Structure 1
């Protein structure tokens, strides 16, 4: 599952292929849409929740509130089912989809909307190989660095002046995330801890010079 972008996306993978998936784009309803999506995917696959043997969740980067919905839900499922919970970079899922579905061979970049007129982004040598850590920047500040490269994701579509060669998909799919995770696990690679990749502080912060009042 992934809720790091406006897409609320869930998929079920049997180790060989995706057997059911769901995706809805709504930046304001992650908490409302995620669990019904899980129910739909399980129903489509004809299995119960207790058949799940592991959980993979997108760790972002992404805005604080939406990202937390997926991570907390994944942790809850992991605890309730006593199964491992793995993290995977959301940008990696987009890059993998661009290679599998969009035919991009690389090099290229991925950019998602970070709000505040910024993007979360990373460069890729190919659909499976990220060449650096994810970052958050204003599009104009990285336009020269990414000049000549295709840029995948909603962040590219939002800023065509900075990213003239915008490519799809715009949003991550749990199907691609699950397929990439299954491929890495089968190869014996370790996935990330299911911890949020924020890259910046949340919008809501304690005001400076805040005084704590305690009863005497």
Structure 2
């Protein structure tokens, strides 16, 4: 099964082509650009470059997996809209997964883990995991208000992991293989995808003038 995986929930614009064979996804190609303002400009070129490098064209794809956040409104919308457009054009299923889960699945190692990513406004998106399963979150809070216990390791945003007195796992953003691992069972089963729902966790900064409080 050939899967396109994309994520724009963090400052990293990530795309990759992954071959799912049995339980283990194999990354054929990947592109990552760390630029919180470049999601719309580089995502589609990244996807086409990944397909070309892997020796495939869009019609070869069997499914799409996309990170649904939590993440900032604009960047997250770009990734999800692009994933939905590819799925619609090709007539293939699009599976949404929690972007924090995709970080955790590569960093958890069977331990209690905290995952944090940048939510701006001096806040973090976070979730806690135990033995690979999410047990709290996703939520958005100031780092000082996040109780890391019983976690003994932390992964995610390099600018925020050091705010917690935990061992740091070097997994900073969702990878294509991590995204596919989270969706693996649904992909293997050929399950009907749930509707794509972005995990904004708060309202966007931009508000239409008519809806502003006077």
Correspondence for 2:9: 4
Q: CA RMSD in A?
A: 2.0
For residues 95-140 of structure 1, the C-alpha deviation after alignment (integer angstroms, 9 at most, x for no partner) is 01214xxxx321111110100011000110123x111331001110
For residues 77-106 of structure 1, the C-alpha deviation after alignment (integer angstroms, 9 at most, x for no partner) is 11111111110000000001214xxxx321
Correspondence for 2:175: 173
Q: Is the 8 A contact 1:107 1:149 kept in 2?
A: yes
Compare the two structures and name the one with the higher strand fraction: 2
Query: Per the alignment, do residues 189 and 83 of structure 1 end up closer, same or farther by CA in structure 2, a change over 3 Å counting?
Result: closer
Displaced runs of 4 or more, over 2 A: 145-149, 157-167, 182-193
Q: Is the 8 A contact 2:155 2:161 kept in 1?
A: no
Q: Secondary structure at the match of 1:112?
A: strand
Q: Secondary structure at the match of 2:162?
A: coil
**Offset of residue 142 of structure 1:** 1.4
* Match for residue 129 of structure 2 among 92, 111, 124: 124
Aligned-partner Cα distance in 2 for 1:163–1:33:
35
- Gap regions ≥5 residues in structure 2: 1-5
Correspondence for 2:93: 84
Q: Secondary structure at the match of 1:18?
A: strand
**Offset of residue 72 of structure 1:** 0.5
Q: Is the 8 A contact 1:21 1:175 kept in 2?
A: no
Structure 1 length-normalised TM: 0.85
Correspondence for 2:137: 133
Q: Secondary structure at the match of 2:20?
A: coil
